[in-house]
Structure 1
Amino acid sequence: MTNAIDTRLADLGLNLPDAPAPAANYVPFVRTGNQIYISGQLPTGPDGLITGKLGQDLDVEAGAEAAKFCALALLAQARKAADGDLGRVRLVKLVGFVNSTADFADQPKVINGASDLMVAVLGDNGRHARSAVSAASLPFGVAVEIEGIFEIS
């Protein structure tokens, strides 16, 4: 990791977790050329997986916090793919899935938790294209799952 990114993380009071292991028969990321495709990351907070349905069990603020934990896991995977140097990566796209009720319409506000964190940590290299969609259910009942595409120099 570069000093600038270490400093940003420290200023935000954040530590990157170890890159999470996959939960099934897939790899956590695939690097092809200068692209890194990172599998969907689940929100793991201090007390374990963050579960619940937005619009029923969780509000937008709690969902955005869960999305931040997904973003930290994405950064941990990107760091591993970039041989430890996040200064070499640029976020291209995030796809966020929000476990929500049929009438919940604030998926973009939930996924903003991840988008805002990426820009705060990576600066302009964290600005990205994005999709934020609803899901009737997610693995293990988690609130959010986010995947990402990064470019590496």
Structure 2
Amino acid sequence: MPIELINAPGLPVPAGHYSHASRAGNLVCVSGQLPMRPDGTHTGDLPFEQQAQQALDNVSTVLAAAGAGLKDVIEVTVYLVGVDHWKTFNEIYTRHFGDWKPARAVLPVGALHYGYLLEIAVRAWVEPA
């Protein structure tokens, strides 16, 4: 089965040796999305709520480039700096996903690049392109 590497239009080209997502058949794996703005500028100095919104927007943009959406997500992994923002994250996450409740893990971490307070990776299941 061929594997398609996906970089989403409208997001900065990944700075490391990875793609925004990869797709093999029905499975789409979205690399961890930081709350970087589409123009490549950082949001590490912004409040948690704005960072969470941007990271979830980035996830949605990558999913769209892969022909998927939030309702196709089957698993979410969130790396959250500390646990202080857990409740706020859950509220913002719920606004994005609504009644859709894919499997999820929220992992407290010590620090992320550029002062970011979270990173989000997802897996989605979609029909082949």
Give the TM-score range, shorter chain.
Answer: 0.7 to 0.9
Which runs of 4 or more aligned residues in structure 1 lie more than 4 Å from their structure 2 counterparts after TM superposition?
A: none
Match of 1:21 in 2: 13
Query: What 5-or-longer segments of structure 1 have no aligned partner?
Result: 1-16, 53-57
Question: How far apart are 1:152 and its partner, in Å?
Answer: 1.0
Match of 1:94 in 2: 76
TM-score, length basis structure 1: 0.64
Question: How far apart are 1:95 and its partner, in Å?
Answer: 0.9
Question: How far apart are 1:36 and its partner, in Å?
Answer: 0.6
Question: How far apart are 1:91 and its partner, in Å?
Answer: 1.2
Match of 2:110 in 1: 136
Could you tell me the percent identity over the aligned residues?
Answer: 24
Residue correspondence of structure 1 range 1-153 to structure 2 within 5 A: 18-45=10-37, 48-51=41-44, 62-82=47-67, 86=69, 90-100=72-82, 105-112=83-90, 115-120=93-98, 124=99, 126-153=100-127
Contact map agreement 2:30 2:121 (CA 8 A) in 1: yes
Question: How far apart are 1:145 and its partner, in Å?
Answer: 0.8
Structure 1 CA distance, aligned partners of 2:15 and 2:42? 13
TM-score, length basis structure 2: 0.74
Question: How far apart are 1:137 and its partner, in Å?
Answer: 1.2
How many pairs does the alignment contain? 118
Question: How far apart are 1:63 and its partner, in Å?
Answer: 2.1
Q: Considering fraction of residues, name the structure with more helix.
A: 1
RMSD over aligned Cα atoms: 2.8
Structure 1 CA distance, aligned partners of 2:20 and 2:11? 8
Query: What 5-or-longer segments of structure 2 have no aligned partner?
Result: 1-8
Give CA deviations for 1:26-47 in whole Å, capped at 9, x if unaligned: 1110111211100011113599
C-alpha change, 1:106 and 1:128, in structure 2 (3 Å) is farther
